[in-house]
Amino acid sequence: MIQSRKSYHDIPHYPLETRIVTRVYAGPLRRYARYSALRDSMYGPEYPRIKIIWDLEIRWANFPVLPPRLPPDDPHGIIPSPWLPAGFERTQERNAFYWYDDYLAKSPETQQSHYISPEHAENLIPRADGNLATVIGPWGNQKEFHLSQGSSISLSQSGLPVDDPDSKDKTPSGWMLDLGGIPLAMGWAPSASKTAQLLAVATIPFADQEPMVQQKEKAAAAGEKQPDTVGCIQFWEFTADHTEGGLPTPSTTLPFLLIAKFFDWGRPKRLQWCPVSFEKAGLHGLLAILCGDGKARVIDVKRVADTDYRPQFGESNLHLLVGPSS
């Protein structure tokens, strides 16, 4: 008996011989692709489950590449959650509002935070030495640009800033921010607003990459806390313009630092927003943070007045926690 060179679990190569009866699908599904049988076998046999896929197929049949960016109220608009029953999001928002209101009424110790002066905040927010130098733009025509702490620029499709003389396209397609430190995690706050969005960024100073002995010597000389005990979360607001059809597009208004939260639980490692919106409760949302002390804490991010687009710094001592405080 001759033993095969292939093992039992090897996947055979796809046959290249055209005489062998094989069938492959490339691109959008066609009528002869037996889509109904594929749909029933993958999502059936319950009719309500099959109907969801059937409705989606009918809705997007004329858009095989990408769906249109239309609002949900349009017949071909984006479906927020096709897998969930109608009104599910509104029900969750209402229940979250009642839960949060009940928590504030019954909890003896709610989240406490107080505003600090910008001068004090400058010693806590990650800060780099000098401006951020970057080389951006299309290949063969790149330029050097400098960003200062807390500033931003709007980028065009070519990669150059929108306001650059060599940029032919004046439509913003992205942004570049100077956070003053190293971003470890970021997340968009859940919001139904069509005018502004909030981005939370967990940042640590560049000094964290220096040797520990050098860090301690600098902290002792400056009379500050140990550099690994102060954490910072930055919240940047992005505004949007609207086309004639009502579609939101990136705005020419530059994003700005709206809020900065500080705490002494160690450096922030990860962050995650609660997917349920808390706008009815006057919040940007609930944010879970994995801190340097090994604990995950949940804070509520209250709305603040963005007067003159000036950042407001808040140092948080006692936050809203899920479970007992420690």
Residue 273, pLDDT score: 95
Q: How far is CA 206 from CA 8, 126, 129, 184, 305, in A?
A: 52, 8, 9, 12, 30
Residue 189, pLDDT score: 92
Residue 33, pLDDT score: 58
- Please state the rounded mean pLDDT for residues 189-201: 87
What are the φ/ψ torsions at residue 192 (nearest 5 degrees)?
-95, 5
In the structure, what pLDDT confidence band is assigned to residue 2 with cuts at 50, 70 and 90?
very low
- Please state the rounded mean pLDDT for residues 246-260: 82
Minimum mean pLDDT among 54-58, 99-103, 216-220, 232-236: which range?
Answer: 216-220
Instruction: Considering only residues 221 and 257, tell me which one the structure prediction assigns the higher pLDDT.
Output: 257
Three-class HEC string of the chain: CCCCCCCCCCCCCCCCCCCCCCCCCCCCCCHHHCHHHHHHHHHCCCHHHHHHHHHHHHHCCCCCCCCCCCCCCCCCCCCCCCCCCCCHHHHHHHHHHHHHHHHHHHCCCCCEEEECCHHHHCCCCCCCCCCEEEEECCCCCCEEEEECCCCEEEECCCCCECCCCCCCCCCCCEEEECCCCEEEEEEECCCCCCCEEEEEEEEECHHHHCCHHHHHHHHHHHCCCCCCCCEEEEEEEEEEEECCCCCEEECCCCCEEEEEEEECCCCCCEEEECCCCCHHHCEEEEEEEECCCCCEEEEEEECCCCHHHCCEEEEEEECCCCCCCC
Q: How far apart are CA 286 and CA 92, in angstroms?
A: 14
Give residue limits of the domains in the chain.
38-83, 92-126+181-326, 128-178
Residue 223, pLDDT score: 56
In the structure, what pLDDT confidence band is assigned to residue 118 with cuts at 50, 70 and 90?
confident
Minimum mean pLDDT among 13-27, 41-55, 134-148, 305-319: which range?
Answer: 305-319
Lookup: tokens for 217: 């010597």
Are 85 and 223 in contact by the 8 Å Cβ rule? The answer is no
In the structure, what pLDDT confidence band is assigned to residue 104 with cuts at 50, 70 and 90?
confident
Q: How far is CA 318 from CA 32, 136, 219, 245, 298, in A?
A: 62, 42, 25, 45, 10
In the structure, what pLDDT confidence band is assigned to residue 198 with cuts at 50, 70 and 90?
very high
Minimum mean pLDDT among 225-229, 242-246, 258-262, 292-296: which range?
Answer: 225-229
Average pLDDT, the chain: 76
In the structure, what pLDDT confidence band is assigned to residue 201 with cuts at 50, 70 and 90?
very high
In the chain, the amino acid numbered 95 is N
Distance of CA 142 to the CA centre of its chain: 28
Q: Tell me how far apart the terminal alpha carbons of the chain are, to the nearest angstrom.
A: 69
Q: Which range among 109-123, 164-178, 265-279 has the greatest average pLDDT? A: 265-279
Residue 309, pLDDT score: 43
Residue 49: pLDDT over 70: yes
In the structure, what pLDDT confidence band is assigned to residue 62 with cuts at 50, 70 and 90?
confident
Q: How many CB atoms lie within 10 A of CB 160?
A: 22
Are 286 and 320 in contact by the 8 Å Cβ rule? The answer is yes
Q: How far apart are CA 231 and CA 210, in angstroms?
A: 17
Residue 142: pLDDT over 50: yes
Are 140 and 148 in contact by the 8 Å Cβ rule? The answer is no
> Full-prediction pTM beyond 0.75?
no
